[in-house]
Amino acid sequence: MPARLKPAPAAEVAAALARLDAGTAQRADLRLLTKHFLALLETLAPGRSVEVRVPPYAAVQVIEGVRHTRGTPPAVIETDAATWIALATGRLAWTDAVESVRVQASGERTDLTPYLPLG
């Protein structure tokens, strides 16, 4: 797993969110917002027991518990960038995302409700 992600500067996040709201977001905006909100999640829920994947941009391991070191982890959350950003900003509820299959979550401790929204 690469080095931990760093939150983006507030001005860059605000600009990217404004472009997203205006419908003019580019791939770079999605990458910036995805990594930013994953970095916030890492800070809020440190640990290595759940892997959160937002392909193709990034993946992080979070939440305390049994540490994962090789292969597919026992607890995985995977979603697309638009869904992750909506969850992180409170524009989409966790349960709604899971029920509509916009998020695939398997294993223990994969309910992120206590940590969302992030920003």
Q: What region does 65 belong to: left with phi over 0, alpha with psi -120 to 50, or beta?
A: left
pLDDT block averages, 10 residues each, the chain of length 119: 80 98 97 98 92 96 78 87 98 97 93 93
pLDDT at 3: 53
Residue 44 makes CB contacts below 8 A (sequence gap 6+) with: 115, 118
The answer to whether the beta carbons of residues 37 and 111 sit under 8 Å apart is no
Q: Which helix (H) or strand (E) holds 106?
A: strand 103-106
Token duo for residue 98:
């899971």
